[in-house]
Structure 1
Amino acid sequence: MSNKRPLLRRAAAALAVFCCTLGGAHAATTITIVNTNGPNVGFNDPTPVQPVGGNSGRTLGAQRLIAFQQAADIWGRTLTSPVPVRVAASFEPLPCNADGAVLGAAGAVEVFSNFPNAPKADTWYPGALASKLARTDLATPGQAHIQARFNSRLGLLPDCMPGSGFYLGLDRKAGAQIDLVAVLLHELAHGLGFQNFTDESTGEFFLGTPSIWDYFLVDIRNNKAWVNMKNDERRRSAIGGANLSWNGERVYKVTSKVLAAQPQLLVSGMAAGMASGGHAVGDASFGPQLGQNAVTGELMPVVDQANGSGLACTPLSPANARAVRGNIALVDRGACTFVTKARILQNAGARGMVVVENTADPVSALGGADPAVRIPAVRIDRATGNQLKSVMVRRSRTSSGVTASLGVDPDRLSGTDLVRRIRMYSPEVFSPGSSVSHYSVDTKPNQLMEPAINTDLLHDVNPPRDLTYPLLQDIGW
């Protein structure tokens, strides 16, 4: 007899949206959307629209369905299951303001343990996966396997990210909009099992039982798996910074085929002191990409604020321009876009830009686009930035004695630990719905299952571009 539990604690990732429609005719798995919207809203919205990017729908609701069909077909062709996957889906108002929004959320409706053919006893599996393994539908009669919600206000109202609505085309040309198909692929993955059922904020197993996810999470500081930890150990591991990895064979075997060399800031020089050595960075979506031929120069901080920080949001003073000319400029995050800072520094003659994060979050990429930017740019975490500033206190007006090289570490893969296991998202400040159930934000190329949807995603879930499906294979798909 199987044990089943409704998973009402949360709906899963707080990043993007949800579901899908029917799987394609030749799909190995049929994925069916259960439309829970009422008349004239969501999938039933009759607002006239023009076809866009291969999406031929003539109403907003029809285009949403077609986009869902596209995401469902991709997952349907990828997965193998004799049991159709049902997704209860709706468009409804979700939290939103002019600068940010909950795009949506999705997750397993029920979890099961000790069902026929369960690979591990006394272990929770999400409903869709458990049904695949049992070769019979385990869901409560009339119940969907996945529940998903989508923000119906996004980009359509002035108080909800105006101008940044969902792009409903199928051609990956979202521009400044948010690619709905990529979001759907992401959220479907959560519902299929790319999520943890243990409470990461307390470390407590759901109803005292571990999930299959807990067998593959490992804290790299002690090489201890979550399934073997105590509650408080798991809680601390979830906020341990870049110290949580995925220890799955399927992902590990293909990581080197997907991820590129890790970008780094290499610091040296007579005055570098304790800051010497390689530092993790997030690279930029604009400007030249980092490679084996590093860009090198003395590191010089911009100081244009009364508190000693440097924002580089307005043209540099003659003193600051003289300091960064021919060198690598160190600036602080805030007050203007990254591309604005880069243009100003480039105009002042800087060879590169290093941005210091202003929060305790792990390093992440620098977003933005500007073809006029020709210098490389990276972001470092706040602790590294403070360390670099401290060793440059006694610099002269044109020299710091600290050399910075912007390049890559040929011996490391981006987003991985020292033994090349991909790291999971575990910021020092717990992020409900995002921590632990996503890949690290410093993978390169960007992965579908990072906690934010990036503009360079290609609607792929498989190697050689993406590591989403290999992780689902690790847990049993």
Structure 2
Amino acid sequence: MKPADSEKPGHPRLQQAAAGIVATLACALALAVGAMTTAHAAASIVIVNQNAAGVGFNDPTPATPVGGNPGTTLGQQRLYAFQQAANIWGATLTSSVPIRIGASFVPLSCTATSAVLGSAGANEIWSDFTNAPRANTWYPAALASKLAGVDIATPGEPHIIARFNSRLGLFPDCLPGNGFYLGLDRNFGDQIDLVTVLLHEFAHGLGFQTFTDDETGEEILGTPSIWDYYLLNNTTGRTWVESTAAERAASAVTWRGLSWNGARVTAAVPQVLDPMSNLAVSGAAAGSAAGNYEVGDASFGPPLANPPVQGQLMPVVDQANGTGLACDPLNALNALAVRGKVALVDRGSCDFVTKAKNVQAAGAIAMVVADNAPGDVAGMSGNDPSIAIPSVRVTQANGATLKASLQRRSRTQSGVVASLGLNTARLAGADAQGRILMYTPSIYSPGSTVSHYTTEAKPNQLMEPAINDDLTHEVTPPRDLTFPLLQDIGW
């Protein structure tokens, strides 16, 4: 799992326009002399090269063709990857107006361990244009032009602005060794598949975003986004367009606070999402800990299934404060405790894969990771084909409940039974009515909150706030729910 994007559009520059009101969401970049490429399909997508000579798409660094990408320079390969993403979206969308994406590779924020991969969004938003389905409503420029039947964008301006990190993996202070994979075949290994990132970011520019401030709940000029008609507040039962600014802001930081209420997405949810993962706790010693727990899935090891993996829950204790990190091979006492059991370990100090490898080597049949900080249910990233046991993650509060039930245990028995399986009555990432949840973590995440799907979805969706290794290049059902949402707003 890798960060997808973490930059919010800038403050809008408002202009009067003949066909309504337009707000510029991203600073327009001066067009550089360079290549234009077009995807000819149901919609025409034009990649407008906004890089200066010698950098970005024009970088002359020699490159060996890879994964179906025939480019022989770094710049050419970047452009071919953009073309591939444009081809996929062009074959999916329908519009008589060519969609212009102003694109560039530029240095973006990064460190040796984390980085902004890229960002994209509508360059302009429009309301009250010819054929607008809803009056007094913001639409992204590409969609507004499709609906109007003519290009209503400001002359010379792209519909979408997209920027990507030119330093990624190429410098020791910017995720060294984990740069963009420029092949077209998804054989990215330890790298980050650029085509997948592009498909994600282009979707934002096409309209997979709200223009209402998701932190304050304030609308631009008191005008709602087309998104706001479909964002359902699960606390009040009202959509964002029916809500106050305070209600919108509160729902954005309420776990499972928002669902998408669009007919196209909801109809497709049952064929796309899998049953929800579940941890069931029972047994004579379980006491008040007995019951079902919602869990985060691991991207490594086998997925949960029915019949469940079941065994007594036993904690790993390898720290003086009573916690068990399992970052080193388990000592004899801990190995004895977890052999043939479900191991309970604490998050922290090392990655999830290392913990799973160590408890598996000690003979555990499954792993439960208790979070080390308050928060919502979340998954676990990592990849190791040698891991053969299932793993799940529970919140810090639920972890404390489980630990309390294990206080009266012997060295090899707890009497608390953990079953890791599926809740077939619920779909992963959907609310009780079968609507997909949006990403609303209790701690506000700039650039990610609201304008993404929940991270609870299984299988992982393209429009989650992180790029997961199991994503394909598909944007439609039965694999993905990105295009149905765009259809809900008018595509």
Q: Is TM-score (shorter-chain normalized) higher than 0.5?
A: yes
Deviates more, 1:318-327 or 1:288-297: 318-327
In the alignment, is the contact (CA less than 8 A) between 1:110 and 1:126 conserved in 2? yes
**SS, match of residue 323 in structure 1:** helix
Asked whether 1:6 is paired with 2:31, we answer: no
Instruction: Give the C-alpha shift of residue 296 in structure 1.
Output: 0.5
Are 1:24 and 2:39 an aligned pair? yes
Residue 188 in structure 1 maps to residue 172 in structure 2? no
Does the aligned pair in 2 maintain the 1:203–1:235 contact within 8 Å? yes
Does the CA contact (< 8 Å) of 1:22 and 1:72 recur in 2?
no
Contact 1:43 1:60 in 2 (8 A): yes
Q: Is the 8 A contact 1:242 1:362 kept in 2?
A: no
- Tell me the alpha carbon deviations over residues 188-239 of structure 1, each in whole angstroms, 9 at most, x when there is no partner: 0000000011111111112211101111111223322111111111111000
Q: Which residue of 2 aligns with 1:133?
A: 147
Q: Counterpart in 2 of 1:270?
A: 284
Give deviations 1:81-110, integer Å, cap 9, x for gaps.
111111111111100001100001000011
Q: Contact conserved, 2:58 with 2:75, CA < 8 A, in 1? A: yes
Alignment partner of 2:367: what SS? strand
Q: Is the 2:25–2:125 contact (alpha carbons within 8 Å) kept by the matching residues of 1?
A: no
1:271-324 Cα deviation digits (max 9, x unpaired): 334433222222222222211110011111111112221110112122222221
The structure-2 alpha-carbon separation of the partners of 1:446 and 1:10, relative to structure 1 and needing over 3 Å to count, comes to: farther
Alignment partner, residue 295 of structure 1: 309
Match status 1:456 vs 2:470: yes
8 A contact 1:112–1:126 mirrored in 2: yes
Query: Quick check: 1-10 or 44-53, which moved more?
Result: 1-10
Instruction: Summarize the Cα distance change of 1:256–1:21 in structure 2 as closer, same or farther, 3 Å threshold.
Output: farther
Which runs of structure 2 are paired with 1:176-255 in the superposition (5 Å)? 176-255=190-269
Q: More deviation in 100-109 or 236-245?
A: 236-245
Q: Which of structure 1's runs of 4+ aligned residues deviate more than 4 A?
A: none
Change (3 A) 1:476 1:96: same
Change (3 A) 1:394 1:2: farther
| Alpha-carbon shift at residue 362 of structure 1 (Å) | 3.0
Mapped to 2, the partners of 1:2 and 1:299 lie a distance apart of 65
> Is the 1:68–1:181 Cα contact (8 Å) retained in structure 2?
yes
Does the Cα contact within 8 Å between 2:48 and 2:100 map onto a contact in 1?
yes
- In the alignment, what sits opposite 1:76? 90
**In 2, are the aligned partners of 1:23 and 1:29 still within 8 Å (CA)?**
no
Kindly indicate whether the alpha-carbon contact (under 8 Å) linking 1:216 and 1:246 is maintained by their aligned counterparts in 2.
Answer: yes
2: CA distance between counterparts of 1:331 and 1:290?
18
Letter of the aligned partner of 1:4 in structure 2? I
TM alignment of 1:326-345, pairs within 5 A: 326-345=340-359
Q: Which residue of 2 aligns with 1:314?
A: 328
Candidates 368, 385, 403, aligned match of 1:389: 403
**Is residue 42 of structure 2 the alignment partner of residue 42 of structure 1?**
no
Does the CA contact (< 8 Å) of 2:182 and 2:195 recur in 1?
Answer: yes
RMSD: 1.6
Kindly indicate whether the alpha-carbon contact (under 8 Å) linking 2:97 and 2:149 is maintained by their aligned counterparts in 1.
yes
CA distance in 2, matches of 1:221, 1:269: 34
Residue 401 of structure 1: CA displacement? 2.9
Alpha-carbon distance change, 222 to 137 in structure 1, aligned in 2, over 3 angstroms: same
Q: How does 1:130-169 map to 2 (within 5 A)?
A: 130-169=144-183
What whole-Å deviation, never above 9, does each CA across 1:144-174 have from its counterpart, x for those lacking one? 1101111001000000000100000000111
1:408: how far off? 0.7
Matched residues in 2 for 1:5 and 1:397: separation? Answer: 68
From the superposition, tell whether residues 177 and 464 of structure 1 become closer, same or farther in structure 2 (CA, over 3 Å). Answer: same
CA contact (8 A) 1:22 1:73 kept: no
Distance 1:65 1:352 in 2: 44
CA distance in 2 between partners of 1:300 and 1:210 (Å): 52
Residues of 2 paired with 1:224 and 1:394: CA distance?
A: 47
Number of aligned residue pairs: 468
**Superposition deviation, residue 8 in structure 1:** 3.2
Deviates more, 1:78-87 or 1:338-347: 338-347
Report deviation, 1:427. 0.5
Q: Tell me, in whole angstroms, the C-alpha distance in 1 between the residues paired with 2:485 and 2:319.
A: 46
- Tell me if 1:174 matches 2:188: yes
Shift of 1:24: 2.8
Shift of 1:365: 2.7
Secondary structure in 2 matching 1:62: helix
2:99 aligns with: 85
The CA distance in 2 between the partners of 1:9 and 1:271, in whole Å, is 58
- What whole-Å deviation, never above 9, does each CA across 1:27-71 have from its counterpart, x for those lacking one? 111111111110100000000000000001000000000000000
SS for the counterpart of 2:466 is: coil
Alignment-mate amino acid for residue 89 of structure 2: W
Q: C-alpha deviations, 1:368-392, integer Å up to 9, x for none?
A: 2222221111112222212222332
The corresponding residue for 1:15 is none
Are 1:218 and 1:247, in contact at CA under 8 Å, matched by a contact in 2?
A: yes
State the alpha-carbon separation in 2 of the partners of residues 343 and 445 from structure 1.
24
Return the letter of the residue paired with 1:6: A
* Aligned counterpart, 1:369: 383
> Conserved in 2, the CA contact under 8 Å of 1:239 and 1:427?
yes
Please tell me the residue identity of whatever aligns with 1:8. Answer: L
1:59 and 2:73 correspond = yes
Q: What's 1:16 paired with?
A: none
Alpha-carbon shift at residue 428 of structure 1 (Å):
0.6
Letter in 2 for 1:277: G
Contact 2:26 2:121 in 1 (8 A): no
Matched with 1:261 is 275
Equivalent AA in structure 1 for residue 19 of structure 2: S
Secondary structure in 2 matching 1:224: coil
Question: Aligned equivalents of 2:157 and 2:312: distance in 1?
Answer: 62
